[in-house]
């Protein structure tokens, strides 16, 4: 029994090595793509993004445009965006911390729709997004 525990203890760090890590590039917002059973890919969404919240708003704009894949990453954190909420985590299977509360998200969505309508349906760039925490 002790031998089995030692083997399992030795394999535990290897399991952590196979876990996908979020890109850590400074100021870069990534879109995360990947199908079940395939390697995760990250596609550049925007550069010079000031913070995780702004990256989450850009990913939310993709969701509002009907994109199916709207999860992403920012400076070592994963960002998860779906109809139920916007959250972030250090690992894909880690605890997901809410980024915005429902009333904040309603206001963000309203402003994003207005901005995209003014831009002929195109999503805003990071420089056009200004977040005010209340």
Cα 60 from Cα 3, distance rounded (Å): 49
Q: Report if residue 3 sits inside a domain.
A: no
For residue 25, give the nearest of 9, 5, 49 by alpha carbon. 49
Strand 97-98's sheet: what is its strand order?
41-46, 29-33, 72-74, 77-82, 85-89, 97-98
The pTM (predicted TM-score) of the whole model is 0.82
Q: Report if residue 68 sits inside a domain.
A: yes
| 32 token code pair | 């995360």
Q: Report if residue 133 sits inside a domain.
A: no
pLDDT of res. 34: 72
Parent domain of 106: 21-128
Residue 26 has pLDDT above 80, yes or no: yes
Q: Report if residue 2 sits inside a domain.
A: no
What tens digit of pLDDT does each residue of 30-42 get? 999 875 567 889 9
At 130, is the pLDDT very low, low, confident or very high (cuts 50, 70, 90)? confident
Number of domains, the chain: 1
Q: Report if residue 134 sits inside a domain.
A: no
Give yes or no for a contact between 45 and 55, defined as CB atoms under 8 angstroms apart. Answer: yes
Residue 86 has pLDDT above 70, yes or no: yes
Q: Report if residue 7 sits inside a domain.
A: no
Q: Report if residue 14 sits inside a domain.
A: no
């Amino acid at each position: 029994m002790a031998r089995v525990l030692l083997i399992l203890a030795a394999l535990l760090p290897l399991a952590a090595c196979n876990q996908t890590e979020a890109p850590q590039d400074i100021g870069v917002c990534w879109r995360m793509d990947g199908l079940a059973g395939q390697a995760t890919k990250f596609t550049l969404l925007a550069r010079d993004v000031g913070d995780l919240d702004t990256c989450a708003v850009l990913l939310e704009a993709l969701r509002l445009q009907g994109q199916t894949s709207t999860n992403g990453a920012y400076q070592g954190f994963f960002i998860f965006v779906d109809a139920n909420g916007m959250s972030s985590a250090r690992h894909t299977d880690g605890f997901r911390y809410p980024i915005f509360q429902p009333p904040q998200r309603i206001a963000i969505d309203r402003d994003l729709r207005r901005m995209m309508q003014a831009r002929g349906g195109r999503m805003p760039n990071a420089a056009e997004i200004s977040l005010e925490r209340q």
